[in-house]
Amino acid sequence: MKVPWHTSISIDWSDWMYSDKLIEEFRNPKNMGKMENPDGVGKVGNPTCGDVMYLYIKVNDDRIVDIKFETFGCAAAIGTSSIITEMAKGLTLDEASKITKQDVADEVDGLPPIKMHCSVLAADALKLAIEDYRKKKGKKSDMKS
């Protein structure tokens, strides 16, 4: 059997290019848009750096029952925003706050090394949203007592 000459060359595209999974999330993001009256909001990034992520959560019984995002940024930022909403939905707050940047990167089948900071943004935004919710809840229970 004749083997084409180029089959012997393997290129690790992940150094330069996104995984199919990430591209899919970028093209068809889930849970995208602003949330009215969220229970917690996490905002990370800065327009000058080119990445800003807003993450909104709705909490019931210590569980994330709804989650949405709005993101200004590259495909990695948008794709990881989308994936973290899918990962966190339905989890308890304790479970969700354990999601790490590596979990996010793994879930999109890896990120090019130069784009790893985008997964940090997503994980941070979720943690901040949970913190925000807990802070607000704390204030409310303070007021009741």
Partner 1 sequence: MNVYMDHASTTPVDPRVVEKMMPYFMEKYGNPSSSLYEIGREARKAVEESRVKVASAINAAPGEIIFTSGGTEGDNLAIKGTALLDKDKKHIIISSIEHFSVLSTCDWLKKQGFEVTKVPVDRYGVVDLSELENAIRKDTALISVMHANNEIGTIEPIEEIGRIASDNGIIFHTNACQTAGRVPIDVRKMDIDLMTLSSHKIYGPKGAGAIFVRKGTRLEPLFHGGGHERKLRSGTENVPGIVGFGEALDLACREMRKEGERLTRLRDRLIRGILKIERSWLNGHPEKRLPNNAHFCFKFIEGESMILELDFNGISGGTGSACSSPTLEPSHVLSAIGLPKEDVHGSLRLTLGKQNTKEEVDYVIEVLPKIIERLRNISPFKEDFGEYESALAHEHKH
Q: In the complex, what is the shortest distance from the CB of residue 43 to partner 1, in angstroms, rounded to a whole number?
A: 8
Among candidate residues 49, 50, 62, 109, the one labeled active-site is 49
Contact between 49 and 136 (Cβ < 8 Å)? no
Cβ 64 vs Cβ 84: under 8 Å: no
27 part of the interface to partner 1, by CB under 8 A: yes
Question: Quick one: CA dihedral 105, 107, 110, 115, positive or negative?
Answer: negative
Please, are residues 125 and 55 in contact by the beta-carbon 8 Å criterion?
yes
Among 106, 114, 138, 139, binds partner 1 (CB under 8 A): 114
Does residue number 54 form part of the binding site for partner 1 (CB under 8 A)? yes
Q: Does the footprint of partner 1 cover residue 132 (CB under 8 A)?
A: no
Q: Does 29 bind partner 1 (CB under 8 A)?
A: yes
